[in-house]
């Protein structure tokens, strides 16, 4: 039990015994004591005055005395107006470090048991008409990281990917390839398969715009030209044929999707992202259509004169939502309905189904949950949209159709070259063998990219600056990675001197910076818990950065290996070891590796 849990528990007892009242944890306001005030934990007394019927100061003194008498770890208290400041004994902080060292990499994490809730996180969800780009990188990193955090908080997590492998978008690439490809393949072109298919998506858009311009010059309005452009009509015809099971269309579809999957797999591997279950829209949309038709028959949905099927949400303050087009083809909402139902059938009563999707789809997921509720699914309110803002570059926004996106593969390679150039300039890896140095360069590059993206609160639109992200100073991944490598070097030197670093140290005092490090260690489990609850990997990123800054100040101000007092040396080495363990653990929750040499 953490000191916070213990204080909360005893506060509930104090109010009961002192004032004959019953309170819950949610009524307790417990926070870190401000740095300018003596103490470690502060209880806000004002909410408790209504139970004591006394002044805030008198109430605080009565409760403070009760806590000192009943919690061994609290050695004293002070009262400033309506705030009760508690001082935790050094003995408690030192014993906490010993416990953390014994737990190793499991410290701060909850155990997954047979009763642990199941949570599914859907992320990535690419279209098979283009390679992954910078926006997909943020999606993948957020999805993978929140999956790691939820698992660390005691959930059974299923990482799911829904591949959008059908629809008008892939038909556009297919038609362009048929018209202009001349049989080009990844092998003949030397291009990754996803890049090749993406090339034809751009070609489609270029040809589409030419045809629109031609039709306008022939007297058509812009709207008419957009609707009647021959290449778009061909793509729509292909979609209908696909849904009808046309053999030639299906063969080309399987071939081109196969090219894309090979490309995606290579990108995922380099990014360090994996999935437990991959769904394909082509295999789920039919269930969605069946459910929609059933809803139509039950009078929950309605059909317009053109045979399109809709959900009327005007009574809920929204609008009408299309679910099936007049030609019977489905839309994204239809397949999302079918996929959600399939997942709950397959995995049972999941505690949460999380969709990691950009904030331009906020309305979509609001509607999805509402339609599923109207269709009678009790779990519909467990759908959570983990919304995130777009990623922009110093040059501006990205546009897939115009081919102006920042490709994920190109970005990761560029980051690697930057990491190598900066490392070489600083001479940080000169002593390492070439193969090990190359591995560390990749770890630094991935760490820079991932940390820069994940340190930002997900809902915020962010500006990604590659050069800034790979700096070895400041709030960056390489800065944190370098601190971990520095501690590993320290521990190797201790080992060379025959010093065994473990929890068997024997000090009874510590200085202020050491105590701050111990207090920060104590908060790790709470940070994981709140990051899971708020779906916010940024909490972990910022905690690790603050922790690293604090340790570097300590490292600068105090001797460790050169400390003459042997007991103090053993303690500081043990403290450093735990700092390194938490850095590695926290960065792992972000999907980031930390090198031992750098």
What DSSP string describes 468-503? HHT-SSSSSHHHHHHHHHHHHHHHHHHHHTT---SS
What pLDDT does 401 receive?
44
| Close Cβ partners of 433 (under 8 Å, ≥ 6 residues apart) | none
CA-CA distance, 333 to 326, in Å (whole number)?
A: 15
The pLDDT value given to residue 143:
98
The residue-averaged pLDDT of 68-80 equals: 97
Q: In what order do the strands lie in the sheet with 156-163?
A: 277-280, 156-163, 118-122, 352-358, 383-388
158's CB contacts (< 8 A; 6+ apart) are 118, 119, 120, 121, 276, 277, 347
pLDDT of residue 404: 53
| Range with lowest mean pLDDT among 73-82, 243-252, 447-456, 464-473 | 464-473
Alpha-carbon distances, residue 333 vs 170, 330, 345, 350, 576 (angstroms): 17, 8, 19, 21, 51
Query: Strands across the sheet with 83-88, in order?
Result: 30-32, 41-44, 83-88, 74-80
The predicted-structure confidence for 109-141, as pLDDT tens digits, reads as follows: 999 999 999 999 999 999 999 999 988 999 999
What is d(CA 530, CA 537) in angstroms, rounded to the nearest whole number? 10
Dihedral sign, Cα of residue 430, residue 434, residue 436, residue 441: positive
Of 69-73, 160-164, 281-285, 436-440, the poorest mean pLDDT is in 281-285
Dist CA 93 CA 108 (whole Å): 15
CA distances from 24 to 15, 65, 368 (A): 10, 21, 35
Query: Over 90: is that where the pLDDT of 226 sits?
Result: yes
- Homologous superfamily of the 408-589 domain (CATH): Isoleucyl-tRNA Synthetase; Domain 1 (1.10.730.10)
Backbone angles phi, psi at 327, to 5 degrees: -85, 5
119's enclosing H/E stretch is strand 118-122
Mean pLDDT of all residues in 335-348: 93
389: pLDDT strictly greater than 80: yes
Give the SS3 label for residue 121. Answer: strand
pLDDT for residue 573 is more than 80: yes
Ranges of each domain in the chain? 3-88, 123-392, 408-589
Confidence band, pLDDT 50/70/90 cuts, at residue 286: confident
Considering only CA atoms, which of 243, 252, 237 is closest in space to residue 330? 243
The stretch 411-424 carries a mean pLDDT of 92
Check residue 400 and give its pLDDT: 44
Query: What whole-number distance in Å separates Cα of residue 238 and Cα of residue 231?
Result: 11
Helices 134-152 + 247-271 axis angle, to 10: 60
Same fold, 3-88 and 123-392: no
Tell me, what's the pLDDT at 398? 43
User: Could you tell me whether strands 383-388 and 352-358 are parallel, antiparallel, or unpaired per DSSP bridges?
Assistant: parallel
More reliable by pLDDT, 143 or 423: 143
- Minimal CA–CA distance to 224: which of 236, 216, 233, 234? 216
Q: Tell me how crowded residue 131 is: count the other CB atoms within 10 A of its CB.
A: 26
Three-class DSSP category at 118: strand
* pLDDT value for 220: 95
Beta bridge partners of residue 119, listed in sequence order:
157, 352
Query: Could you give the percent of the chain with pLDDT greater than 90?
Result: 88
Closest CA to 78 of 41, 47, 46: 41
Class of domain 3-88: alpha beta
Give me the long-range contacts of 304-310 (CB less than 8 A, separation at least 24).
Answer: none
Q: Please state, in angstroms and rounded to a whole number, the distance separating the CA atoms of residues 453 and 137.
A: 9
CATH class of 123-392: alpha beta
Name the band, by pLDDT with cuts 50, 70 and 90, for residue 432.
confident
Position 395 scores a pLDDT of: 67
The answer on pLDDT for 418 being more than 60 is: yes
Cα 582 from Cα 100, distance rounded (Å): 10
* Strand, helix or coil for residue 404: coil
Backbone angles phi, psi at 245, to 5 degrees: 80, 25
Q: Which residues contact 210 (CB under 8 A, 6 or more apart)?
A: none
């Amino acid at each position: 039990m953490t000191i916070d849990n213990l204080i909360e528990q005893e506060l509930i007892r104090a109010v009961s015994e002192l004032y004959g009242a019953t309170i819950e944890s949610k009524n307790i306001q417990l926070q870190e004591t401000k740095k300018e005030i003596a103490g470690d934990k502060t209880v806000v007394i004002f909410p408790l005055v209504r139970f004591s019927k006394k002044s805030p100061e008198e109430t605080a003194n009565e409760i403070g005395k009760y806590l000192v008498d009943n919690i061994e770890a609290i050695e004293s208290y002070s009262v400033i107006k309506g705030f009760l400041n508690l001082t935790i004994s050094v003995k408690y902080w030192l014993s906490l470090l010993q416990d953390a060292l014994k737990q190793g990499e499991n410290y701060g994490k909850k155990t997954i048991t047979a009763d642990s809730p199941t949570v599914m996180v859907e992320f990535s969800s690419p279209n098979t008409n283009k390679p992954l780009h910078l926006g997909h990188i943020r999606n993948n990193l957020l999805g993978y990281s929140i999956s790691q955090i939820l698992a660390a908080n005691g959930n059974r997590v299923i990482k799911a990917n829904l591949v959008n492998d059908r629809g008008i978008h892939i038909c556009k690439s297919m038609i362009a390839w048929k018209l202009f490809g001349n049989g080009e393949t990844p092998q003949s072109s030397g291009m990754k398969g996803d890049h090749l298919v993406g090339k034809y998506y751009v070609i489609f858009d270029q040809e589409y715009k030419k045809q629109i311009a031609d039709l306008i010059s022939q007297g058509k309005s812009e709207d008419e030209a957009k609707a009647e452009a021959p290449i778009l009509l061909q793509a729509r015809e292909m979609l209908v044929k696909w849904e009808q099971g046309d053999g030639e269309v299906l063969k080309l579809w399987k071939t081109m999707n196969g090219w894309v999957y090979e490309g995606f797999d290579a990108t995922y591997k380099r990014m360090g992202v994996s999935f437990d279950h991959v769904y394909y829209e082509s295999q789920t949309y039919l269930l969605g259509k069946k459910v929609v038709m059933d809803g139509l028959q039950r009078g929950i949905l309605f059909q317009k004169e053109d045979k399109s099927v809709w959900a009327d949400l005007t009574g809920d303050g929204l609008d009408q939502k299309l679910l099936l087009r007049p030609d019977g083809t489905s839309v994204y909402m239809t397949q999302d309905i079918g996929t959600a139902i399939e997942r709950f059938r397959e995995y049972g009563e999941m505690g949460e189904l999380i969709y990691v999707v950009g904030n331009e789809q906020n309305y979509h997921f609001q509607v999805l949950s509402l339609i599923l509720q109207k269709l009678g699914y009790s779990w519909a309110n467990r759908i959570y949209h983990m919304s995130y803002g777009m990623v922009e570059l110093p040059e501006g926004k990205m546009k897939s159709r115009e081919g102006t996106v920042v490709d994920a593969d190109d970005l990761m390679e560029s980051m690697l070259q930057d990491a190598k150039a900066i490392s070489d300039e600083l001479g940080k890896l000169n002593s390492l063998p070439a193969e090990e140095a190359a591995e560390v360069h990749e770890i630094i590059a991935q760490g820079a990219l991932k940390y820069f993206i994940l340190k930002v609160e997900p809902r915020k639109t962010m500006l990604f600056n590659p050069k800034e992200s790979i700096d070895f100073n400041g709030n960056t991944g390489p800065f944190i990675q370098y601190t971990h490598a520095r501690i590993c070097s320290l521990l190797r030197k201790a080992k060379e001197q025959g010093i065994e670093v473990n929890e068997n140290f024997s000090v009874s005092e510590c200085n202020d910076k050491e105590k701050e490090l111990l207090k920060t260690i104590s908060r790790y489990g709470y940070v994981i818990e709140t990051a899971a609850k708020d779906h916010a990997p940024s909490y972990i990123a910022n905690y690790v950065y603050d922790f690293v800054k604090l340790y570097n100040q300590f490292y600068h101000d105090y001797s460790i290996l050169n400390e003459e007092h042997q007991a103090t040396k053993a303690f500081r080495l043990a403290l450093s070891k735990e700092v390194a363990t938490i850095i590695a653990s926290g960065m792992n929750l972000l999907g980031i590796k930390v090198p031992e040499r750098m």
